[in-house]
Structure 1
Amino acid sequence: MREINNLKTRLSAAFEMKDLGPAKQILGMKISRDRSAGTLNLSQELYIEKVLSRFRVNDAKPRTTPLANNFKLSKEQPDIAHAVGVVSRYMANPGKEHREDVKWLLRYLRGGTAVSWMSRLQKCVSLSSTEDKYVAIAEAGKDMIWLADYLEELGKK
């Protein structure tokens, strides 16, 4: 903490600034911390609502999948990042069908669907990039098992 305060003092000497305390929001993301548990949570719910409102789909019927079935998403890759990547390929020359696909994606977000995402250092040192990927896949598998068990507890398959 002493180093952080020293840095703040040096920065305020060079720049006009105010210390507003711990950040509560940044880049449209709500920040919540639990210092005792050592967790930091970011939520983009307010940003999603703003985007939905901007494109006038905030009252649209929610969707349960990120993209329509004609995109033939595999069970291994049905996440929001994949869907955004697919529709982003057509940004240079979008057509009506692409606009409909983006609206579908926005309607999926309208459903308040939970997205699980985490970034942290691995608990072990990998000796190669291949081993690094195996460790990451194993961790992702553990998360999937946990999520499946959790959904089962909620009565979802």
Structure 2
Amino acid sequence: MSNSKPVVTPTNPQFKLSIDQCPSTDVERAYMNSIPYANIVGSLMYAMVCTRPDIAYAVSLVSRYMANPGKAHWQALKWILRYINGSLNRVLIYGGALGEDSKAVIEGYVDSDYAGCMDSRKSISGYVFTMFGTAISWKATLQKVVALSTTEAEYIALTEAVKEALWLEGFAKELKLQGRGITVKCDSQSAIHLSRNSAYHERTKHIDVRLHFVRGVIERGEVQVLKVSTEDNAADMITKTLPSCKFFHCMQLIKLHEES
């Protein structure tokens, strides 16, 4: 793929991947057996975990079909390689210095894509945390249960982000870096309201009580959840396919730039 034509985003809106696209004939299976699909996905996972949050959603998408990939899944995987080929110099840029009166500020963005999986109709959770404005932790994953509303999907994603925030806060305190509670930014007003209001009502009584631990965390002031506009939510690129202009804006929010 070194001579392939580069593309500007790691996913293509035309790709609607599902289990129905897995090989159904012996000829298709024989063709896919000759392709190192799992090896390539594993290599992309390594890059994504270490330095490339921009491909987190794309890698989570193609990794669902590693057991029995089809030609459509292979085309989506090659699209990611074409994106990598055109962005080999894209790096996370860390800056900022700690003075005697300054402390590192850790902030998080969280988002979800309701019923994003075409096979199971499970939603996708995504978060990214930054220090000095640069990404230090990110994740894109399918939720373990099927959410019945966008509010529930956002609330499940917020719970995962808060758990990560607690771990990062403890780690930062050991290094004597964090001076205050971590802020998590969410673009769902209803999920934020649910995280602060302990009253049950008809629309939320079915939500697993284990998720409500986030309320205690917020009440104790360990994590602060704030509203952010969808346009400025960096976690958008970790949960769904975006147009190029929005995708590049999300990368700017976490200081993922081309190396000069």
TM-score, normalised relative to structure 2: 0.26
- Which of the two has greater strand per residue? 2
TM-score, normalised relative to structure 1: 0.40
Which structure would you say has the larger RCO, counting Cα contacts within 8 Å and 6 or more residues apart? 2
